[in-house]
Amino acid sequence: MALKIIMDTDPGIDDAAALTMAINDPAIDLKLVTAVAGNVTVDKTTANALKIVHFFGKENEIPVAAGAKQPLIKPFEDAARIHGASGMPGYDFGDDYGHAIEKSAVEALHDEIMAADEPITLVPTGSYTNIAILFSQYPEVKNNIKEIVAMGGTLQEGNMTSAAEFNCFTDPHAAKVLYDSGVPIVMVGLDITLKALLTADTLDKLAGLNKTGEMLHALITHYGDGGAEGIPMHDVNTIFYLLHPEAITTKEMWVDVQTEGPAMGETVGDIRGAYHDGKTNAKVCVDIDAAAFNKWFLEEIGSIKD
């Protein structure tokens, strides 16, 4: 039976690739996509989610809902310098890609989670604002969530400050709500996403696979992240974890989120288990088989029928 998931996302180029995997892999049943302000403003992230869903002809099967326009407290700061002004430059999706449903992201999340006949998996790949509001307004949903596989955080150096990764920096107060929620969490952070780089060889092969490969190649070559060693597909690692956990090393620990001062957004892991009476609140991804990730990435895209 396919794993039922909801993606809360802010497309974004790597989000688009993660959505592509979630929509097309038969082992995953994507029930809902909710958009949040992050890489670009929420009107653009919602439009970009709709574009990907429509690209695969799933607009009548996978609803898209618009969510939070700004973080809970902190002023909004986008990543257009990395993802471009639209969030997904490089490919023409046309103008006829449908509309978001009338429900807000929080209402849609509540209804989908509570209607599920078994606990559902949440996969946030943007800031966690929608989920923080959901938990505040509808705490009962926690009982029907299997786990949260969240892209974000780092135990090492950040990519917004020396301490903070982008998703947690964007809304640190929401990140704290997430990690304090009591729901099982898998932290898919920079500790692995900066190791699982798409190589030049992978990128060279991508465009020739099919129409999907052509689309993703066009987006990724407009991505302002990465360097000579390769290009990180941060959000795609969440889907890789769901499908191939054996390729990722994890360590259970307690993770705290800093919400004030120059370390705002930092995720601090109690790596010695010394400060929370031995309790843990997250399974943190600490290593990954990068070659397996590249092989899987091409196989996933290559299996999609035009």
Please give the Cα distance from 8 to 138 (Å, whole number).
17
* Residue among 266, 243, 241 nearest 256 (CA): 266
Amino acid letter, 43? D
pLDDT in tens, 93-109: 999 999 999 999 999 99
Residue 80 has pLDDT above 90, yes or no: no
Please report the pLDDT score of residue 19 as a whole number.
98
Give 185's Cβ-side CA count (13 Å radius).
Answer: 27
- Burial of residue 246 (number of CB atoms within 10 Å: 0-12, 13-18, 19+): exposed
Please give the Cα distance from 107 to 130 (Å, whole number).
10
pLDDT in tens, 184-236: 999 999 999 999 999 999 999 999 999 999 999 999 999 888 888 999 999 99
**The token pair that represents 177 in the structure block:** 């709500």
CB-based contact 242:123 (threshold 8 Å):
yes
Residue 274 has pLDDT above 90, yes or no: yes
Share of residues in the chain with pLDDT > 70 (%): 100
Please report the pLDDT score of residue 228 as a whole number.
80
- pTM confidence score: 0.97
Please report the pLDDT score of residue 306 as a whole number.
80
Residue 1 has pLDDT above 90, yes or no: no
Give the mean pLDDT of the chain. Answer: 97
Catalytic residue of the set 173, 217, 234, 276: 234
* Pairing of the two strands 267-269 and 255-257: antiparallel
How big is the chain by its Cα radius of gyration, in Å?
Answer: 18
Please report the pLDDT score of residue 2 as a whole number.
94
pLDDT in tens, 15-32: 999 999 999 999 999 999
Question: Length of the chain, please?
Answer: 306
Catalytic residue list contains 244: no
Which CATH superfamily hosts domain 3-303? Ribonucleoside hydrolase-like (3.90.245.10)
Residue with tokens 């039922």: 4
Spell out the residues 6+ positions from residue 146 whose beta carbon is closer than 8 angstroms to its own. Answer: 118, 119, 120, 121, 184
